[in-house]
Amino acid sequence: MQQTITFPSGTVDHFFQASFAEQAKTYDKQHTIIVTNEHISKLYGQLFKGFTTLVIPPGESSKDMNTIKSLANDLLHAEATRKTTIMGVGGGVVTDITGFLSSVYMRGVRFGFAPTTLLGMVDAAIGGKNGVNLGFNKNVLGTFTQPQFIVFDSKFLDTLPNAEWSNGFAEIIKYACIFDAGLFEELSKNDIDYYKQDHTALNSLIERCVALKNNTVTNDEKETGLRKLLNFGHTAAHAIENLYELPHGKAVAIGMVIACMVSERVTGLDPEVRVKLMALLERYNLPVKMNIDHKKAMEILRMDKKRHDDMIDYIVLNKIGEAVIHALPLGEIETALIDYEGKN
């Protein structure tokens, strides 16, 4: 099922419930280059037959300028031009790298994604944010550039490790918290096994999350206002993700718990919401407690992109399904981290 979404900067073709193998037959192999990682290449390399394929090591450590430089050299050696299409096939690291590389190579070439993880399908591949890390600082270097197409083939998820299913559900739970109380209730009644076994429910869930994110991005592509809501849980998460080498979803889970604690102080959020959220996170095998060194976390937070002077735009909840942006003093965040640290 093809759906075209129009953003201020252009259109993106979404192919839902698609077959990557069938979709790949429609691409010009001579002018299409695939970027993927070693895991995906090993599992699905047969699907890339006939394409020039660039393979990177898996994991967050690849998401830096050294990888971009290496891939750019590979593109030159492959004689890639402005008429080349680059396709990222993989999780969020692969799609972030592919988007950034495509945005800057020869000042921009056509690109698209085939996300292979749940996290990639519901979040990372959508919205036009592309970036790489600078040390501990997440996505400090990046662009806002939309892909031309995204292929959603849920068959890729058949080989997804259990931990990666949980990572994806962290972002799905985030959408429920900030936009959709009904989704929160649906998730509370089900679990990972349910969605693994019911492909109709899974595809419906993916499309629902994509719609929630696209509706936000179409109204605020460059993240000047409404799109900031998508950062719920991510401010603290980015501070601890690289610091403790946590998977993104696990870091976001912890970040959402901390964001609820901040919300209780700032908006008067009912503490029962945090209790419900923690129960839901645990239902999807996500952590709610960990030991955090608040001083080290604050060192990273002070370099957060959302900081201005001693304030930071922080996403808090009024209630489940309703999030708001608050400019908070960094000291308010540190207080929440200290409070969280004291309870774990």
The H-assigned helical ranges of 33-112 are 38-44, 65-77, 92-104
Instruction: Let me know if 327 is exposed, middle or buried by CB neighbors in 10 A (0-12, 13-18, 19+).
Output: exposed
**Spatial CA neighbour of 8 closest among 118, 144, 121, 165:** 144
Instruction: Extract the tokens encoding 27.
Output: 């691409």
Whether 38 is catalytic is no
The H-assigned helical ranges of 180-313 are 181-189, 192-197, 199-219, 234-241, 248-266, 271-283, 294-301
Kindly name the residue from 248, 274, 294, 306 that is annotated as catalytic. Answer: 248
**Spatial CA neighbour of 284 closest among 159, 181, 160, 188:** 188
Kindly name the residue from 129, 138, 228, 274 that is annotated as catalytic. Answer: 129
Whether 343 is catalytic is no
Measured CA to CA, the distance from residue 272 to residue 260 in angstroms comes to 10
Kindly name the residue from 130, 133, 171, 228 that is annotated as catalytic. Answer: 171
- CA 173, 177, 183, 188 torsion-angle sign: positive
Whether 107 is catalytic is yes
Per the listing, tokens 């830096």 go with 64
Whether 199 is catalytic is no
Whether 238 is catalytic is yes
Whether 73 is catalytic is no
Per the listing, tokens 């990682």 go with 37
Kindly name the residue from 39, 63, 138, 227 that is annotated as catalytic. Answer: 227
Instruction: Let me know if 276 is exposed, middle or buried by CB neighbors in 10 A (0-12, 13-18, 19+).
Output: middle
Kindly name the residue from 213, 250, 294, 306 that is annotated as catalytic. Answer: 213
Measured CA to CA, the distance from residue 178 to residue 94 in angstroms comes to 27
Kindly name the residue from 207, 223, 241, 264 that is annotated as catalytic. Answer: 223
Kindly name the residue from 228, 234, 250, 274 that is annotated as catalytic. Answer: 234
Whether 302 is catalytic is no
Whether 77 is catalytic is no
Kindly name the residue from 130, 133, 167, 231 that is annotated as catalytic. Answer: 231
Q: Which residue numbers are catalytic? A: 107, 129, 171, 213, 223, 227, 231, 234, 238, 248
